[in-house]
Chains A and B, each alone.
Chain A
Amino acid sequence: MLSPPPGHELLAGARFLLLGDVLPDLSPGQERKIRMIADAMEVAEREMRDSAESATRELRLLSELYDEAPPPLLAPSEVEGCLRSMNARLVRDIRTGALDRRKAGRLRRVLLEQVLSRLRIASPAYLRASGYG
Protein backbone atom coordinates (compact mmCIF):
# COMPACT_ATOMS: atom_id res chain seq x y z
CA MET A 1 0.00 0.00 0.00
CA LEU A 2 1.48 3.33 -1.07
CA SER A 3 1.24 6.49 0.97
CA PRO A 4 -1.13 9.13 -0.33
CA PRO A 5 -1.51 11.06 -2.53
CA PRO A 6 -1.87 8.62 -5.44
CA GLY A 7 0.46 9.09 -8.41
CA HIS A 8 -2.04 10.80 -10.68
CA GLU A 9 -2.88 13.40 -8.05
CA LEU A 10 0.81 14.02 -7.43
CA LEU A 11 1.29 14.65 -11.13
CA ALA A 12 -1.72 16.96 -11.21
CA GLY A 13 -0.26 18.99 -8.35
CA ALA A 14 3.13 19.23 -10.02
CA ARG A 15 1.52 20.35 -13.27
CA PHE A 16 -0.50 22.99 -11.42
CA LEU A 17 2.72 24.36 -9.92
CA LEU A 18 4.51 24.28 -13.25
CA LEU A 19 1.81 26.21 -15.10
CA GLY A 20 0.90 28.56 -12.27
CA ASP A 21 4.27 29.46 -10.74
CA VAL A 22 7.01 28.56 -13.21
CA LEU A 23 5.48 29.37 -16.57
CA PRO A 24 4.77 33.10 -16.07
CA ASP A 25 8.49 33.85 -15.59
CA LEU A 26 9.67 32.14 -18.75
CA SER A 27 10.52 33.36 -22.24
CA PRO A 28 8.17 32.39 -25.12
CA GLY A 29 10.55 29.66 -26.34
CA GLN A 30 10.70 28.06 -22.92
CA GLU A 31 6.96 28.54 -22.48
CA ARG A 32 6.26 26.27 -25.40
CA LYS A 33 8.45 23.54 -23.90
CA ILE A 34 6.83 23.86 -20.50
CA ARG A 35 3.38 23.60 -22.04
CA MET A 36 4.46 20.44 -23.80
CA ILE A 37 5.79 19.00 -20.57
CA ALA A 38 2.53 19.91 -18.86
CA ASP A 39 0.62 18.18 -21.66
CA ALA A 40 2.69 15.02 -21.19
CA MET A 41 2.05 15.14 -17.44
CA GLU A 42 -1.66 15.52 -18.03
CA VAL A 43 -1.77 12.47 -20.31
CA ALA A 44 0.19 10.42 -17.76
CA GLU A 45 -2.12 11.61 -15.03
CA ARG A 46 -5.26 10.46 -16.85
CA GLU A 47 -3.61 7.18 -17.77
CA MET A 48 -2.68 6.40 -14.17
CA ARG A 49 -6.24 7.15 -13.14
CA ASP A 50 -8.22 5.44 -15.89
CA SER A 51 -6.15 2.85 -17.72
CA ALA A 52 -7.07 -0.19 -15.56
CA GLU A 53 -10.77 0.34 -16.09
CA SER A 54 -10.22 1.05 -19.76
CA ALA A 55 -8.22 -2.17 -20.25
CA THR A 56 -10.87 -4.27 -18.52
CA ARG A 57 -13.54 -2.79 -20.78
CA GLU A 58 -11.46 -3.47 -23.89
CA LEU A 59 -10.90 -7.10 -22.86
CA ARG A 60 -14.63 -7.56 -22.37
CA LEU A 61 -15.44 -6.04 -25.78
CA LEU A 62 -12.90 -8.20 -27.57
CA SER A 63 -14.22 -11.32 -25.87
CA GLU A 64 -17.77 -10.41 -26.90
CA LEU A 65 -16.65 -9.92 -30.48
CA TYR A 66 -15.34 -13.46 -30.57
CA ASP A 67 -18.32 -14.86 -28.62
CA GLU A 68 -16.01 -15.99 -25.89
CA ALA A 69 -16.22 -15.70 -22.13
CA PRO A 70 -14.23 -12.75 -20.78
CA PRO A 71 -10.90 -13.79 -19.30
CA PRO A 72 -10.88 -14.52 -15.58
CA LEU A 73 -9.82 -11.77 -13.23
CA LEU A 74 -6.24 -10.98 -14.21
CA ALA A 75 -3.42 -9.44 -12.22
CA PRO A 76 -2.59 -5.94 -13.51
CA SER A 77 0.70 -7.23 -14.87
CA GLU A 78 -1.14 -9.85 -16.97
CA VAL A 79 -3.75 -7.53 -18.49
CA GLU A 80 -1.36 -5.86 -20.92
CA GLY A 81 -0.11 -9.21 -22.29
CA CYS A 82 -3.63 -10.55 -22.66
CA LEU A 83 -4.78 -7.41 -24.50
CA ARG A 84 -1.78 -7.54 -26.79
CA SER A 85 -2.46 -11.14 -27.73
CA MET A 86 -6.18 -10.52 -28.36
CA ASN A 87 -5.42 -7.46 -30.47
CA ALA A 88 -2.81 -9.40 -32.44
CA ARG A 89 -5.49 -11.98 -33.22
CA LEU A 90 -7.86 -9.19 -34.22
CA VAL A 91 -5.27 -7.70 -36.58
CA ARG A 92 -4.76 -11.10 -38.22
CA ASP A 93 -8.49 -11.56 -38.71
CA ILE A 94 -8.98 -8.08 -40.16
CA ARG A 95 -6.06 -8.61 -42.51
CA THR A 96 -7.39 -11.89 -43.85
CA GLY A 97 -10.93 -10.55 -44.17
CA ALA A 98 -12.23 -13.13 -41.68
CA LEU A 99 -14.48 -10.50 -40.08
CA ASP A 100 -15.54 -8.67 -43.25
CA ARG A 101 -19.07 -10.03 -43.47
CA ARG A 102 -20.30 -11.85 -40.43
CA LYS A 103 -19.10 -9.45 -37.78
CA ALA A 104 -18.43 -6.23 -39.63
CA GLY A 105 -20.84 -4.11 -37.57
CA ARG A 106 -19.64 -5.44 -34.23
CA LEU A 107 -16.05 -5.08 -35.26
CA ARG A 108 -16.62 -1.45 -36.20
CA ARG A 109 -18.14 -0.78 -32.76
CA VAL A 110 -15.19 -2.41 -30.99
CA LEU A 111 -12.72 -0.35 -33.01
CA LEU A 112 -14.59 2.84 -32.26
CA GLU A 113 -14.61 2.02 -28.56
CA GLN A 114 -10.85 1.35 -28.65
CA VAL A 115 -10.22 4.75 -30.19
CA LEU A 116 -12.56 6.58 -27.84
CA SER A 117 -10.87 4.93 -24.91
CA ARG A 118 -7.45 6.13 -26.07
CA LEU A 119 -8.76 9.59 -26.81
CA ARG A 120 -10.23 9.91 -23.32
CA ILE A 121 -6.70 9.55 -22.01
CA ALA A 122 -4.60 11.20 -24.71
CA SER A 123 -6.81 13.97 -26.01
CA PRO A 124 -10.22 14.57 -24.43
CA ALA A 125 -10.50 17.95 -26.13
CA TYR A 126 -10.28 16.29 -29.55
CA LEU A 127 -12.83 13.75 -28.39
CA ARG A 128 -15.28 16.54 -27.61
CA ALA A 129 -14.47 18.36 -30.86
CA SER A 130 -15.24 15.14 -32.74
CA GLY A 131 -18.73 15.03 -31.28
CA TYR A 132 -18.08 12.37 -28.64
CA GLY A 133 -17.60 12.74 -24.93
Chain B
Amino acid sequence: MKRRAVQGLEGWLSGELGEPVRVESAQRLGGAAARETWKAVVTNVNDGKPRRLLRLVRGEVSPGSESGLSPVEEFAVLRAAHEAGVLVPRPLLLCDDARPMGMPFFVTEFVRATGSAGPADRDSGAEVEMFPPWRTFPGGYPDAPRFGRELPGSDIAAQWGREIAKLHRVTPQHTHVRGMNQIPAAEHCARIDRFRRRLDGLGDPQPVLEWVMRQLERNAPEGVENVLCHGAAGDPGCVVDDGQLLAILDWQWSRWGDPHEDIGEVFAACRRRLCAQPDSAADAAKRAFLEAYRAHSRLDVDEDFVRFWEVMATLRRAVAALEQGHRFVSGGEVSIELALQSRRVAEMEIDLLAETDRLSMARANA
Protein backbone atom coordinates (compact mmCIF):
# COMPACT_ATOMS: atom_id res chain seq x y z
CA MET B 1 0.00 0.00 0.00
CA LYS B 2 1.39 3.38 -0.97
CA ARG B 3 2.52 5.68 1.83
CA ARG B 4 -0.10 8.28 0.91
CA ALA B 5 -2.89 5.69 1.18
CA VAL B 6 -1.51 4.51 4.53
CA GLN B 7 -1.52 8.09 5.81
CA GLY B 8 -5.05 8.58 4.54
CA LEU B 9 -6.13 5.38 6.27
CA GLU B 10 -4.45 6.38 9.54
CA GLY B 11 -6.16 9.76 9.53
CA TRP B 12 -9.56 8.35 8.72
CA LEU B 13 -9.32 5.46 11.20
CA SER B 14 -8.19 7.81 13.95
CA GLY B 15 -11.28 9.93 13.39
CA GLU B 16 -13.64 6.97 13.28
CA LEU B 17 -12.15 5.15 16.28
CA GLY B 18 -11.68 8.31 18.32
CA GLU B 19 -8.07 7.49 19.12
CA PRO B 20 -4.83 8.21 17.25
CA VAL B 21 -3.80 5.07 15.41
CA ARG B 22 -0.82 4.03 13.33
CA VAL B 23 -0.90 1.40 10.60
CA GLU B 24 1.98 -0.92 11.54
CA SER B 25 1.69 -3.04 8.44
CA ALA B 26 -0.59 -3.57 5.48
CA GLN B 27 -0.31 -6.79 3.56
CA ARG B 28 -2.21 -7.40 0.33
CA LEU B 29 -3.96 -10.75 0.40
CA GLY B 30 -4.07 -13.11 -2.55
CA GLY B 31 -6.71 -15.72 -3.15
CA ALA B 32 -9.70 -15.30 -5.37
CA ALA B 33 -11.04 -12.00 -4.08
CA ALA B 34 -12.24 -9.97 -7.04
CA ARG B 35 -11.08 -6.71 -5.50
CA GLU B 36 -8.18 -5.52 -3.42
CA THR B 37 -8.16 -7.06 0.03
CA TRP B 38 -5.63 -6.09 2.69
CA LYS B 39 -4.73 -7.24 6.15
CA ALA B 40 -3.76 -4.25 8.28
CA VAL B 41 -2.28 -4.18 11.76
CA VAL B 42 -3.04 -0.93 13.61
CA THR B 43 -1.95 0.29 17.03
CA ASN B 44 -2.90 3.14 19.31
CA VAL B 45 -0.15 5.75 18.93
CA ASN B 46 -0.29 6.80 22.59
CA ASP B 47 0.21 3.48 24.32
CA GLY B 48 1.09 1.14 21.46
CA LYS B 49 -1.86 -1.04 22.46
CA PRO B 50 -4.06 -2.77 21.68
CA ARG B 51 -3.05 -4.15 18.33
CA ARG B 52 -6.00 -4.48 16.03
CA LEU B 53 -6.02 -6.79 13.07
CA LEU B 54 -8.32 -5.53 10.35
CA ARG B 55 -9.41 -6.68 6.96
CA LEU B 56 -9.76 -3.89 4.44
CA VAL B 57 -11.54 -4.22 1.12
CA ARG B 58 -11.38 -1.50 -1.49
CA GLY B 59 -11.92 -0.78 -5.17
CA GLU B 60 -14.29 -2.11 -7.76
CA VAL B 61 -14.43 -5.76 -8.79
CA SER B 62 -12.02 -6.97 -11.45
CA PRO B 63 -12.33 -5.38 -14.90
CA GLY B 64 -14.55 -7.46 -17.16
CA SER B 65 -16.68 -8.74 -14.31
CA GLU B 66 -20.36 -8.44 -14.98
CA SER B 67 -22.30 -7.44 -11.92
CA GLY B 68 -20.14 -7.15 -8.85
CA LEU B 69 -21.26 -4.93 -6.00
CA SER B 70 -19.59 -1.68 -5.08
CA PRO B 71 -17.80 -1.62 -1.70
CA VAL B 72 -20.74 0.35 -0.28
CA GLU B 73 -23.22 -2.29 -1.42
CA GLU B 74 -21.01 -5.16 -0.29
CA PHE B 75 -20.72 -3.61 3.15
CA ALA B 76 -24.54 -3.39 3.32
CA VAL B 77 -24.78 -7.07 2.39
CA LEU B 78 -22.17 -7.97 5.01
CA ARG B 79 -24.15 -6.17 7.70
CA ALA B 80 -27.37 -7.87 6.65
CA ALA B 81 -25.70 -11.29 6.58
CA HIS B 82 -24.06 -10.62 9.96
CA GLU B 83 -27.39 -9.67 11.50
CA ALA B 84 -28.95 -12.81 10.06
CA GLY B 85 -26.35 -14.81 11.96
CA VAL B 86 -24.29 -15.86 8.95
CA LEU B 87 -20.62 -16.53 9.65
CA VAL B 88 -18.97 -13.42 8.22
CA PRO B 89 -16.12 -11.21 9.40
CA ARG B 90 -17.78 -8.63 11.65
CA PRO B 91 -18.37 -5.50 9.55
CA LEU B 92 -16.84 -2.49 11.32
CA LEU B 93 -16.52 0.65 9.24
CA LEU B 94 -17.41 1.97 5.82
CA CYS B 95 -15.71 4.83 4.03
CA ASP B 96 -17.66 5.88 0.96
CA ASP B 97 -15.41 8.89 0.49
CA ALA B 98 -12.61 8.41 -2.06
CA ARG B 99 -10.35 11.00 -0.44
CA PRO B 100 -8.64 9.02 2.37
CA MET B 101 -7.45 6.13 0.22
CA GLY B 102 -8.21 7.11 -3.34
CA MET B 103 -11.33 4.94 -3.49
CA PRO B 104 -14.17 3.81 -1.20
CA PHE B 105 -13.40 0.94 1.15
CA PHE B 106 -14.72 -0.92 4.13
CA VAL B 107 -13.17 -2.51 7.18
CA THR B 108 -14.05 -5.75 8.94
CA GLU B 109 -12.52 -7.83 11.65
CA PHE B 110 -9.84 -10.24 10.41
CA VAL B 111 -10.70 -13.89 10.90
CA ARG B 112 -7.70 -16.10 11.55
CA ALA B 113 -7.27 -19.71 10.59
CA THR B 114 -4.51 -21.36 12.55
CA GLY B 115 -4.91 -25.11 12.88
CA SER B 116 -5.10 -26.29 9.31
CA ALA B 117 -2.63 -23.91 7.71
CA GLY B 118 0.31 -25.50 5.95
CA PRO B 119 3.57 -25.91 7.88
CA ALA B 120 5.25 -22.96 6.17
CA ASP B 121 2.36 -20.69 7.07
CA ARG B 122 2.33 -21.82 10.69
CA ASP B 123 6.06 -21.30 11.01
CA SER B 124 5.82 -17.78 9.68
CA GLY B 125 2.95 -17.03 12.02
CA ALA B 126 0.89 -15.67 9.18
CA GLU B 127 -2.87 -15.64 9.30
CA VAL B 128 -4.10 -17.65 6.41
CA GLU B 129 -7.25 -17.31 4.41
CA MET B 130 -8.22 -20.70 3.19
CA PHE B 131 -10.79 -21.93 0.75
CA PRO B 132 -13.21 -24.78 1.16
CA PRO B 133 -12.00 -28.02 -0.32
CA TRP B 134 -14.45 -28.06 -3.19
CA ARG B 135 -12.85 -25.07 -4.80
CA THR B 136 -12.57 -25.78 -8.53
CA PHE B 137 -10.63 -24.54 -11.50
CA PRO B 138 -12.10 -21.35 -12.86
CA GLY B 139 -14.64 -22.30 -15.43
CA GLY B 140 -13.98 -25.98 -15.47
CA TYR B 141 -14.03 -29.32 -13.79
CA PRO B 142 -11.22 -30.13 -11.43
CA ASP B 143 -9.30 -33.25 -12.15
CA ALA B 144 -9.30 -34.59 -8.65
CA PRO B 145 -7.17 -37.72 -8.81
CA ARG B 146 -4.47 -36.38 -11.06
CA PHE B 147 -4.21 -32.75 -10.05
CA GLY B 148 -4.85 -33.18 -6.36
CA ARG B 149 -8.27 -31.53 -6.18
CA GLU B 150 -10.70 -32.89 -3.63
CA LEU B 151 -14.40 -33.32 -3.43
CA PRO B 152 -16.25 -31.35 -0.80
CA GLY B 153 -16.22 -32.98 2.55
CA SER B 154 -19.73 -33.64 3.78
CA ASP B 155 -19.05 -31.79 7.04
CA ILE B 156 -18.11 -28.59 5.26
CA ALA B 157 -20.98 -29.03 2.83
CA ALA B 158 -23.41 -29.28 5.77
CA GLN B 159 -21.98 -26.15 7.40
CA TRP B 160 -22.22 -24.35 4.11
CA GLY B 161 -25.86 -25.45 3.72
CA ARG B 162 -26.64 -24.05 7.17
CA GLU B 163 -25.03 -20.68 6.39
CA ILE B 164 -26.75 -20.34 3.03
CA ALA B 165 -30.09 -21.10 4.69
CA LYS B 166 -29.46 -18.33 7.22
CA LEU B 167 -28.52 -15.94 4.41
CA HIS B 168 -31.76 -16.69 2.58
CA ARG B 169 -33.73 -15.33 5.51
CA VAL B 170 -32.72 -11.87 4.34
CA THR B 171 -35.42 -10.40 2.12
CA PRO B 172 -35.57 -7.10 0.20
CA GLN B 173 -37.37 -5.54 3.18
CA HIS B 174 -34.24 -5.84 5.34
CA THR B 175 -33.02 -2.52 6.70
CA HIS B 176 -29.45 -2.54 5.46
CA VAL B 177 -30.10 -3.76 1.96
CA ARG B 178 -33.38 -2.09 1.06
CA GLY B 179 -31.60 0.28 -1.27
CA MET B 180 -30.02 -2.40 -3.40
CA ASN B 181 -31.46 -2.68 -6.88
CA GLN B 182 -34.15 -5.24 -7.44
CA ILE B 183 -33.27 -7.85 -9.97
CA PRO B 184 -35.94 -8.01 -12.65
CA ALA B 185 -38.06 -11.14 -12.75
CA ALA B 186 -36.67 -12.27 -16.09
CA GLU B 187 -33.04 -12.00 -14.95
CA HIS B 188 -32.24 -15.51 -16.12
CA CYS B 189 -33.23 -14.48 -19.66
CA ALA B 190 -30.81 -11.56 -19.53
CA ARG B 191 -28.12 -13.91 -18.31
CA ILE B 192 -28.75 -16.33 -21.18
CA ASP B 193 -28.58 -13.41 -23.60
CA ARG B 194 -25.17 -12.52 -22.18
CA PHE B 195 -23.96 -16.09 -22.60
CA ARG B 196 -25.16 -16.02 -26.21
CA ARG B 197 -23.31 -12.79 -26.90
CA ARG B 198 -20.14 -14.19 -25.37
CA LEU B 199 -20.39 -17.39 -27.39
CA ASP B 200 -21.19 -15.50 -30.59
CA GLY B 201 -18.14 -13.36 -29.93
CA LEU B 202 -15.92 -16.43 -29.98
CA GLY B 203 -16.96 -17.24 -33.53
CA ASP B 204 -17.26 -21.02 -33.12
CA PRO B 205 -20.88 -22.20 -33.24
CA GLN B 206 -21.83 -24.26 -30.19
CA PRO B 207 -25.09 -26.11 -30.98
CA VAL B 208 -25.13 -28.13 -27.75
CA LEU B 209 -24.82 -25.08 -25.52
CA GLU B 210 -27.37 -23.27 -27.69
CA TRP B 211 -29.79 -26.15 -27.16
CA VAL B 212 -29.18 -26.03 -23.42
CA MET B 213 -29.95 -22.30 -23.39
CA ARG B 214 -33.13 -22.95 -25.35
CA GLN B 215 -34.22 -25.54 -22.78
CA LEU B 216 -33.45 -23.17 -19.93
CA GLU B 217 -35.61 -20.49 -21.54
CA ARG B 218 -38.48 -22.94 -21.89
CA ASN B 219 -38.23 -24.36 -18.37
CA ALA B 220 -37.48 -21.36 -16.19
CA PRO B 221 -38.75 -21.31 -12.58
CA GLU B 222 -41.67 -19.03 -11.93
CA GLY B 223 -43.18 -17.39 -8.87
CA VAL B 224 -40.20 -17.76 -6.55
CA GLU B 225 -39.68 -15.31 -3.69
CA ASN B 226 -36.56 -13.16 -4.01
CA VAL B 227 -34.06 -13.45 -1.17
CA LEU B 228 -30.48 -12.37 -0.66
CA CYS B 229 -28.28 -14.81 -2.59
CA HIS B 230 -24.55 -15.27 -2.22
CA GLY B 231 -24.13 -15.30 -6.00
CA ALA B 232 -21.03 -17.50 -6.07
CA ALA B 233 -22.04 -20.19 -3.61
CA GLY B 234 -20.23 -22.94 -5.49
CA ASP B 235 -16.92 -21.19 -5.22
CA PRO B 236 -16.86 -19.11 -2.07
CA GLY B 237 -13.86 -17.49 -0.46
CA CYS B 238 -13.94 -18.72 3.13
CA VAL B 239 -11.83 -19.21 6.18
CA VAL B 240 -11.84 -22.90 7.07
CA ASP B 241 -9.96 -24.20 10.07
CA ASP B 242 -9.68 -27.87 10.98
CA GLY B 243 -12.84 -28.71 9.09
CA GLN B 244 -14.76 -25.83 10.64
CA LEU B 245 -16.13 -23.02 8.55
CA LEU B 246 -15.16 -19.82 10.37
CA ALA B 247 -16.17 -17.08 7.97
CA ILE B 248 -17.43 -16.41 4.48
CA LEU B 249 -15.30 -13.60 3.12
CA ASP B 250 -16.36 -12.45 -0.31
CA TRP B 251 -19.79 -10.99 -0.98
CA GLN B 252 -19.23 -8.97 -4.11
CA TRP B 253 -21.47 -11.20 -6.26
CA SER B 254 -24.45 -11.09 -3.89
CA ARG B 255 -27.83 -10.17 -5.33
CA TRP B 256 -31.53 -10.58 -4.90
CA GLY B 257 -32.64 -13.75 -6.55
CA ASP B 258 -34.12 -17.18 -6.51
CA PRO B 259 -32.75 -19.09 -3.47
CA HIS B 260 -32.50 -22.19 -5.64
CA GLU B 261 -29.72 -20.45 -7.54
CA ASP B 262 -27.27 -20.70 -4.65
CA ILE B 263 -28.18 -24.36 -4.12
CA GLY B 264 -27.80 -25.09 -7.83
CA GLU B 265 -24.37 -23.40 -7.77
CA VAL B 266 -23.24 -25.66 -4.95
CA PHE B 267 -24.61 -28.74 -6.70
CA ALA B 268 -22.82 -27.81 -9.92
CA ALA B 269 -19.58 -27.51 -7.97
CA CYS B 270 -20.19 -30.94 -6.48
CA ARG B 271 -20.80 -32.59 -9.84
CA ARG B 272 -19.16 -35.87 -10.37
CA ARG B 273 -15.48 -35.72 -11.00
CA LEU B 274 -13.57 -37.67 -13.53
CA CYS B 275 -14.03 -41.43 -13.05
CA ALA B 276 -11.69 -42.00 -10.08
CA GLN B 277 -14.03 -40.02 -7.85
CA PRO B 278 -17.22 -42.00 -7.43
CA ASP B 279 -20.53 -40.25 -7.89
CA SER B 280 -21.44 -41.24 -4.35
CA ALA B 281 -18.89 -38.83 -2.84
CA ALA B 282 -20.40 -35.87 -4.67
CA ASP B 283 -23.88 -37.12 -3.88
CA ALA B 284 -23.02 -37.36 -0.19
CA ALA B 285 -21.86 -33.76 -0.18
CA LYS B 286 -25.01 -32.62 -1.99
CA ARG B 287 -27.21 -34.54 0.44
CA ALA B 288 -25.37 -33.10 3.45
CA PHE B 289 -25.73 -29.59 2.08
CA LEU B 290 -29.43 -29.98 1.33
CA GLU B 291 -30.25 -31.64 4.65
CA ALA B 292 -28.60 -28.82 6.57
CA TYR B 293 -30.21 -26.21 4.35
CA ARG B 294 -33.67 -27.66 4.89
CA ALA B 295 -33.11 -27.88 8.64
CA HIS B 296 -32.28 -24.17 8.88
CA SER B 297 -34.45 -22.69 6.16
CA ARG B 298 -37.97 -21.36 6.14
CA LEU B 299 -38.19 -21.98 2.40
CA ASP B 300 -39.32 -25.05 0.49
CA VAL B 301 -36.78 -26.48 -1.91
CA ASP B 302 -38.06 -27.44 -5.36
CA GLU B 303 -35.52 -29.87 -6.79
CA ASP B 304 -36.49 -29.07 -10.37
CA PHE B 305 -35.73 -25.41 -9.72
CA VAL B 306 -32.39 -26.45 -8.21
CA ARG B 307 -31.69 -28.44 -11.38
CA PHE B 308 -32.46 -25.38 -13.51
CA TRP B 309 -29.84 -23.34 -11.66
CA GLU B 310 -27.38 -26.20 -11.58
CA VAL B 311 -27.61 -26.32 -15.39
CA MET B 312 -27.21 -22.53 -15.51
CA ALA B 313 -24.07 -22.73 -13.36
CA THR B 314 -22.55 -25.51 -15.46
CA LEU B 315 -23.40 -23.56 -18.61
CA ARG B 316 -21.55 -20.55 -17.20
CA ARG B 317 -18.51 -22.68 -16.53
CA ALA B 318 -18.64 -24.09 -20.05
CA VAL B 319 -18.78 -20.60 -21.60
CA ALA B 320 -15.89 -19.44 -19.43
CA ALA B 321 -13.83 -22.51 -20.33
CA LEU B 322 -14.37 -21.91 -24.05
CA GLU B 323 -13.23 -18.31 -23.60
CA GLN B 324 -10.10 -19.57 -21.90
CA GLY B 325 -9.42 -21.84 -24.87
CA HIS B 326 -9.79 -18.89 -27.21
CA ARG B 327 -7.36 -16.85 -25.15
CA PHE B 328 -4.88 -19.68 -25.61
CA VAL B 329 -5.44 -19.80 -29.38
CA SER B 330 -5.14 -16.03 -29.75
CA GLY B 331 -1.87 -16.08 -27.83
CA GLY B 332 -3.32 -14.00 -25.03
CA GLU B 333 -2.61 -16.55 -22.35
CA VAL B 334 -0.39 -19.54 -22.99
CA SER B 335 -1.57 -21.95 -20.33
CA ILE B 336 -1.87 -25.66 -21.03
CA GLU B 337 -4.13 -25.92 -18.00
CA LEU B 338 -6.62 -23.46 -19.47
CA ALA B 339 -6.37 -25.05 -22.91
CA LEU B 340 -7.18 -28.45 -21.43
CA GLN B 341 -10.13 -27.00 -19.57
CA SER B 342 -11.52 -25.78 -22.88
CA ARG B 343 -11.16 -29.21 -24.46
CA ARG B 344 -13.04 -30.71 -21.57
CA VAL B 345 -16.15 -28.63 -22.14
CA ALA B 346 -17.56 -31.81 -23.70
CA GLU B 347 -17.63 -33.28 -20.18
CA MET B 348 -19.93 -30.49 -19.09
CA GLU B 349 -21.98 -30.82 -22.26
CA ILE B 350 -22.75 -34.49 -21.70
CA ASP B 351 -23.94 -33.67 -18.19
CA LEU B 352 -25.91 -30.69 -19.47
CA LEU B 353 -27.73 -32.82 -22.03
CA ALA B 354 -28.77 -35.30 -19.34
CA GLU B 355 -29.82 -32.61 -16.88
CA THR B 356 -31.82 -30.59 -19.41
CA ASP B 357 -33.63 -33.78 -20.42
CA ARG B 358 -34.69 -34.22 -16.79
CA LEU B 359 -35.67 -30.58 -16.63
CA SER B 360 -37.90 -30.87 -19.71
CA MET B 361 -39.40 -34.12 -18.47
CA ALA B 362 -40.25 -32.60 -15.10
CA ARG B 363 -41.95 -29.66 -16.82
CA ALA B 364 -43.89 -32.00 -19.12
CA ASN B 365 -45.10 -34.01 -16.12
CA ALA B 366 -46.02 -30.95 -14.06
Instruction: Give chain A's interface residues, CB within 8 Å of chain B.
Output: 32-33, 35-37, 39-40, 43, 84, 87-88, 90-91, 94-95, 97, 100, 107-108, 110-112, 114-116, 118-119, 122-123, 125-130, 132
Closest 7 CB pairs of A and B: A118-B346, A87-B205, A129-B275, A122-B343, A88-B205, A91-B205, A90-B207
A interface SS class:
helix
B interface SS class:
helix
Extra A-B contacts (18), CB below 8 Å, given A115-B350, A126-B350: A40-B340, A87-B206, A91-B206, A94-B207, A95-B210, A95-B214, A114-B207, A115-B208, A115-B349, A115-B353, A119-B346, A119-B350, A126-B274, A126-B275, A126-B346, A129-B272, A129-B274, A132-B350
With contacts A84-B205, A88-B205 taken as known, whether A32 is within 8 angstroms of B148 at the C-beta atoms is yes
Q: In whole Å, how far is A64's beta carbon from the nearest beta carbon of chain B?
A: 15
- Structural contact, A107 and B340, CB atoms closer than 8 A: no
- Structural contact, B272 and A122, CB atoms closer than 8 A: no
With contacts A115-B346, A123-B347 taken as known, whether A39 is within 8 angstroms of B340 at the C-beta atoms is yes
Instruction: Point out the residues of chain A lying under 8 angstroms from B339, CB to CB.
Output: 40
Instruction: Point out the residues of chain B lying under 8 angstroms from A125, CB to CB.
Output: 274-275
Pairs A–B under 8 Å by Cβ, sample size 5: A91-B207, A118-B345, A119-B347, A123-B344, A126-B275
The docked-state distance in angstroms from the alpha carbon of A36 to that of B344 is 13
- Structural contact, B204 and A107, CB atoms closer than 8 A: no
- Which of B196, B214, B346 touches A122 (beta carbons < 8 Å)? B346
The docked-state distance in angstroms from the alpha carbon of A83 to that of B2 is 54
Instruction: Point out the residues of chain B lying under 8 angstroms from A128, CB to CB.
Output: 275
Q: Is B24 an interface residue (CB 8 A)?
A: no
The docked-state distance in angstroms from the alpha carbon of A97 to that of B319 is 21
The 0/1 profile, CB within 8 Å of A marked 1, for residues 69-88 of chain B is 00000000000000000000
Interface-centre pick from A35, A107, A112, A115 (highest chain B CB count, 10 A): A115
The docked-state distance in angstroms from the alpha carbon of A132 to that of B214 is 25
- Structural contact, B211 and A94, CB atoms closer than 8 A: yes
The docked-state distance in angstroms from the alpha carbon of A90 to that of B66 is 28
- Structural contact, B214 and A36, CB atoms closer than 8 A: no
Instruction: Point out the residues of chain B lying under 8 angstroms from A107, CB to CB.
Output: 211
The docked-state distance in angstroms from the alpha carbon of A95 to that of B148 is 39
Instruction: Point out the residues of chain A lying under 8 angstroms from B207, CB to CB.
Output: 87, 90-91, 94, 110-111, 114
The docked-state distance in angstroms from the alpha carbon of A39 to that of B274 is 14
- Structural contact, A114 and B208, CB atoms closer than 8 A: yes
